[in-house]
Amino acid sequence: MIQTGMRYRIRHEGPGSLHIALDRSRLSKQEADILYYALIEHRDVLKVSVYPRAGEAVIRYRRDREALLTSLDTLSLKDPEAARIPGVSARQTNEEYKEKIISMLLRRGMKKLLLPAPVRAVLTVWRAVPFIWHGLRDVLHGHFSAEIIHASAIGASLLIGDFPTADSITFLTELGELLEEWTYKKSVDDLAQSLSLNVSRVWKVGEGADELTDIESIAVGDRIRITMGNVIPLDGIAAEGEAMVNQSALTGEPLSVRKIPGRAVFAGTVVEEGELVIEVREVSGETRYDQIIKMIEASESMNPETQSQAERVVTRMIPYTFATAVITWLLTRNVTKAASVLMVDFSCAIEVAMPVATLSAMSEANRHQLTVKGGKFLEIISQADTIVFDKTGTLTMAMPCVEQVVGLDGHEENDMLRIAACLEEHFPHSLANAVVRAAQERNLQHEEMHSKPEYIVAHGIVSTIEGKRVVLGSDHFIFDVEGVPREPGHEALILERIPSENSRLFLAIDGRLSAVIGIADPIKEEAAGVIAQLKELGIRHVVMMTGDSRRTAEAVAARAGITEFYAEVLPEDKARYVEEQKAAGRRVIMVGDGINDSPALSAADVGIAMKEGADIAQEIADVTLSGDALAQLVILKKISDRLMPRMHSTARIGIGFNGAILLAGLLGLVMPGAAAFLHNASTIGLSLYNMTPLLEEHEI
């Protein structure tokens, strides 16, 4: 066949699989990456295996074979834009470690076949020097470590002239470390590549007014405006404005940082207060992968307490292992037995296999659109007995819709909706998105007609249009805070036009109520079922808190099966309630999606944010749900509940198996080389097992 893009032939075909051979015997790293990532993104492709040295690939797919062949026909391996290749390619990582292992095995085989014994002995001593030096260094620093044990075993073998044993120990230790490094790096890469900023459009500063623009069209030197509660999507320099920026995901700083003109700002950070105009300095997103890796490294400082306890136990065991070897040599004068004992390192299974279990669980959660920022949060979720829900955008639909616009005192409803949308588009929240979407559906153009809008948390928005003060927000904000007068005629009209179960957004211009927007906020269909499942999984205390009216809150709580709810609460009320529950000894999860949920998300043992909500909520939260699927909470709880038994079993098996190796070495049943092999094999085996999914497909 003749292709317009890549040339290939089908070598073998089976049900749901294709084995293709390209028109070249070898693929470059870039070509292999383009082929892999272009295919893996195809909607019908389940798995891709690329073999660069042979110029072949095996593809597992479902459904549409013709669409897959069309993609292959048009794919160009010379076009870097043909696939979204991540900053660090997991495919390249695998190839790199495979080549390292193959090279190690080949060098060892060639050395045994071609080099005489004296030369092999010299090479053994040369390779042993770094191990012995690391061990001596730890001794000098008073730090008992696995390196001391390995150095002692190798040194003992060299002292008695057993060069083959010293060589085997060195080789197996190096091979084990390489395999452990590969296993760990693959877990990190898989997790890092699944995380991204999820920002598609930004406000580009123009000569007349700001323009909402696709982020791909932003160039170096362009200026973008970032308002309160939004993520900074690109690296740059603050050009105008002043803001407090949360950089915790990037730098680990617990407090926000003040940014003024001239100071650098970074992608992935969030404007907590104020507003910035940023001159873009980096548009390729190359720095984002590094930020994600830093986040994962930071998450390792938040390891589950189970892992920390196990690490403390095995660290205390190292001196006893060394002492056992010394006693064995004193009693038997058998260096081989002593060396076999020294090959046992209890810490490896704990320090390698347990982190792999945590990273794998985080990666599995991410495959279900759950971003978890640290292993300790999975542990806390498994222990949690209380969950607090926000209402709007959390228990109710993330896409509420405007059903009524009531213009008052002669104001035309489309004009009022246009003004509301013009204000709301700057401050993303589910209700704000509903207003903007309603204006779009009515083809209402809402160019910037106002002065700088100001968002007042849990209340609403204040701005100025044609010299008149405009306020948009809740009943409490408009009438109690702003002092807009209530008029009996308005009340009757509102009750007549807007059903009692709908939320209401009030618009006042120049101190007079001008419009009321009725927003239907239906409860999510799965809410009641999800809450019932969470109770079955051990969550005994379920609460709903909302700033909405008691009338609306009561209706939603009843449909969701929640008996305890609080209405018309402020952000500080939610945070105070969470703190009270923690003080009472409860483990508390908070689930929310808005700027006003941020204090409670921060106060909870685990804060969970909806990804479609405000950026600041996502930044502060410990876990982010993608979209509005509450069922993800059940998946998260199941993953957390399954992870902890796996962590405990890893510790038990690792310690038990290595204890058996130690005993076998003490009795002379295994030689040092075999002990090293068994020790490394157990660590690798546990790591590979810990990379397997925690949930079966039928449980999802």
Structure confidence by residue, pLDDT tens digits, 123-160 = 988 988 888 888 788 777 766 666 776 777 777 778 77
Q: What is the mean pLDDT of residues 313-340?
A: 73
Which DSSP state fits 180? H
Q: What is the mean pLDDT of residues 512-541?
A: 91
The closest alpha carbon to 655, from 337, 178, 317, belongs to 317
| DSSP helix/strand/coil, 518 | strand
Alpha-carbon distances of 311 from 300, 308, 353, 354, 660, rounded to whole Å: 13, 5, 11, 10, 19
- Is 363 part of any domain? no
**pLDDT at position 500, please?**
73
Count of residues making up the chain: 700
Confidence of residue 330 (pLDDT cuts 50, 70, 90): confident
Max CA-CA distance within the chain?
105
- Is 362 part of any domain? no
461 and 511 inside one domain: yes
188 and 329 inside one domain: yes
485 and 391 inside one domain: no
Confidence of residue 587 (pLDDT cuts 50, 70, 90): very high
Instruction: Kindly report the average pLDDT of the chain as a whole number.
Output: 80
Confidence of residue 529 (pLDDT cuts 50, 70, 90): very high
Please check whether residue 549 is in contact with residue 394, taking contact to mean a CB–CB distance below 8 angstroms.
no
The C-alpha atoms of residue 679 and residue 657 are separated, in whole angstroms, by: 8
Task: Return the CATH number at 37.
Answer: 3.30.70.100
121 and 257 inside one domain: no
Q: Which of 2-11, 97-106, 349-358, 504-513 has the highest mean pLDDT?
A: 504-513
pLDDT at 636 over 50: yes
The C-alpha atoms of residue 284 and residue 85 are separated, in whole angstroms, by: 12
530 and 603 inside one domain: yes
pLDDT at 299 over 60: no
Q: What is the mean pLDDT of residues 176-187?
A: 69
> 35 or 143: which carries more pLDDT confidence?
35
pLDDT at 369 over 60: yes
pLDDT at 477 over 50: yes
Alpha-carbon distances of 470 from 316, 465, 478, rounded to whole Å: 67, 7, 10
599 and 669 inside one domain: no
Confidence of residue 289 (pLDDT cuts 50, 70, 90): very low
The C-alpha atoms of residue 211 and residue 192 are separated, in whole angstroms, by: 32
pLDDT at 390 over 70: yes
- Is 2 part of any domain? no
User: Of 296, 313, 338, at which residue does a domain stop?
Assistant: 296
**pLDDT at position 684, please?**
79
> 598 or 472: which carries more pLDDT confidence?
472
**pLDDT at position 459, please?**
74
**pLDDT at position 90, please?**
64
> 138 or 635: which carries more pLDDT confidence?
635
> 371 or 186: which carries more pLDDT confidence?
371
Q: What is the mean pLDDT of residues 593-601?
A: 76
- Is 258 part of any domain? yes
pLDDT at 21 over 80: yes
Please check whether residue 56 is in contact with residue 11, taking contact to mean a CB–CB distance below 8 angstroms.
yes
User: Of 27, 51, 85, at which residue does a domain stop?
Assistant: 85
Please state whether beta strands 370-372 and 386-390 pair in parallel, antiparallel, or not at all (unpaired).
Answer: unpaired
Our CA angle for 313, 314, 316, nearest 5°, is 70
**pLDDT at position 202, please?**
81
Q: Which of 368-382, 543-557, 634-648 has the highest mean pLDDT?
A: 634-648
**pLDDT at position 538, please?**
92
- Is 108 part of any domain? yes
335 and 382 inside one domain: no
pLDDT at 2 over 50: no
pTM value? 0.61
436 and 483 inside one domain: yes
pLDDT one-digit tens code per residue, 214-267: 776 788 888 999 888 778 888 889 999 988 887 755 554 555 788 999 988 887
Query: Which range has the worst mean pLDDT, 507-516, 561-570, 622-631?
Result: 622-631
64 and 148 inside one domain: no
Please check whether residue 615 is in contact with residue 634, taking contact to mean a CB–CB distance below 8 angstroms.
no
415 and 511 inside one domain: yes
pLDDT one-digit tens code per residue, 414-462: 999 999 998 888 876 777 888 988 998 998 877 766 667 887 766 789 9
**pLDDT at position 184, please?**
65
Q: What is the mean pLDDT of residues 513-535?
A: 90
Q: Which tokens sit at 576?
A: 């105070």
- Is 107 part of any domain? yes
**pLDDT at position 302, please?**
53
Please check whether residue 689 is in contact with residue 354, taking contact to mean a CB–CB distance below 8 angstroms.
no
Which residue among the candidates 162, 222, 235, 390 is catalytic per the annotation? 390
pLDDT one-digit tens code per residue, 433-443: 889 889 989 98
Number of domains, the chain: 5
- The domain in which residue 206 lies consists of 201-296
**pLDDT at position 642, please?**
93
Task: Give the count of beta carbons closer than 10 Å to the beta carbon of residue 540.
Answer: 11
**pLDDT at position 287, please?**
46
**pLDDT at position 286, please?**
44
Confidence of residue 311 (pLDDT cuts 50, 70, 90): low
**pLDDT at position 640, please?**
93
Confidence of residue 570 (pLDDT cuts 50, 70, 90): confident
288 and 239 inside one domain: yes
Residue ranges in 368-507 assigned as alpha helix (H): 375-383, 413-424, 430-441, 475, 488-497
- Is 634 part of any domain? no
Please check whether residue 243 is in contact with residue 271, taking contact to mean a CB–CB distance below 8 angstroms.
yes
25 and 158 inside one domain: no
The closest alpha carbon to 603, from 594, 615, 590, belongs to 590
Confidence of residue 1 (pLDDT cuts 50, 70, 90): very low
Known catalytic membership, residue 64? no
Please check whether residue 642 is in contact with residue 695, taking contact to mean a CB–CB distance below 8 angstroms.
yes
- Is 489 part of any domain? yes
